[in-house]
Amino acid sequence: MIIKKKNTWFKMLFEWKGSVLPQLLPRLLLLLLFSLLVVYFKPYLIKYNLHINPAIFTLFGIALAIFLGFRNSVSYDRFWEGRKLWGALLNDTRSLARQSITLINDPAYEAKRDNFTNLLIAFVYSLKHQLRETDPEEDLNRLLPKNFIEQLKTVQYKPIIILRQLGIWVKTAKSENKIDSVTQLAFEENLNKLSDIVGGCERIASTPIPYTYSVLLHRTVYIYCFLLSFGFVETMGWITPFIIVFIAYTFVALEAIADELENPFGLQPNDLALDTMAQMIENTLLELNDKKVRPIQNQNLYCIT
């Protein structure tokens, strides 16, 4: 996800990075060429009464804008819910790491406490990779023992298996009388919260906006934009293509933004910066455990708060 300081109003007009304009440019150029052809054949269109009353586009445009606004609202709700889930992931992993440090006062338990912290970090990275359908091997190799990594290779839902291992760690600490039943219950409460976070993320990733709705809106936007030329060619003449492209940019860009935000866990510029967020969660857990933190890559792109 790209987050930049806002430029002046004039520089914002020419902002390129992070804008959807680069991916829309070919479509807008096609629309420009089509509009130029419509204007070029204006005499024939008027002769054969092939132009359209602009008032129709005014009424239809208002309805289309309402539908696009609803589509963007739904997509942003999904984006913001994903952001809240990862914010909760930060808070709950911090709580678990703190509990493992402050509620077990045995210095001889330090190595096992480090293992617990690594399991939490591996849980975060495995969730990121599951949501993006990428390979978690590199991250897991540096965090987990080899025998556990081999076990995870054949598993589809790696975060859940790591969560089970976290539960086993708590159970072992209880059996070794390092924690009491009340403390175990506190651990279990936070582990249940991690399970809820995984379920919430999976719900967003596996339940897109109904495809038929997206297709209907997509077709309507482009048909509307291409028909606009026939509505304004009689009154605007050669300025028509530029007006049409500007109007089309508004509608098409709104649809493109909604498509990007629909799946907040993807790799597009405006999706959540899961790489940076996972690294930041790792560093805060390492600091809690008095360990050296790792430098955050691309820290200029995203800041978690």
Give the model confidence (pLDDT) of 97-113 as tens digits. 999 999 988 888 888 99
Is a pLDDT exceeding 50 seen at residue 226?
A: yes
Q: What is the mean pLDDT of residues 224-229?
A: 89
Q: CA separation (Å) from 204 to 83, 200, 262?
A: 11, 7, 9
Is a pLDDT exceeding 60 seen at residue 182?
A: yes
Domain boundaries, the chain: 23-288
Q: Which pLDDT tens digit goes with each residue over 116-150? A: 999 999 999 999 999 999 999 999 999 999 999 99
Q: Look up the pTM and report it.
A: 0.85
Q: Which long-range contacts (CB under 8 A, 24 or more apart) does 98-107 make?
A: 98/288, 99/183, 99/186, 99/187, 99/190, 101/288, 101/289, 103/179, 103/183, 103/186, 104/173, 104/178, 104/179, 106/178
Q: What is the mean pLDDT of residues 249-261?
A: 89
What does pLDDT average to over the chain?
88
Between helix 54-102 and helix 240-262 the angle, nearest 10°, is 30
What pLDDT, on a 0 to 100 scale, did the predictor assign at position 29?
A: 94
Encoding tokens for residue 167? 């539960």
Encoding tokens for residue 19? 């804008």
What pLDDT, on a 0 to 100 scale, did the predictor assign at position 303?
A: 41
Q: What is the Cα–Cα distance from 59 to 8, expressed in whole angstroms? A: 34
Q: What is the Cα–Cα distance from 64 to 151, expressed in whole angstroms? A: 52
Q: What is the Cα–Cα distance from 1 to 233, expressed in whole angstroms? A: 40
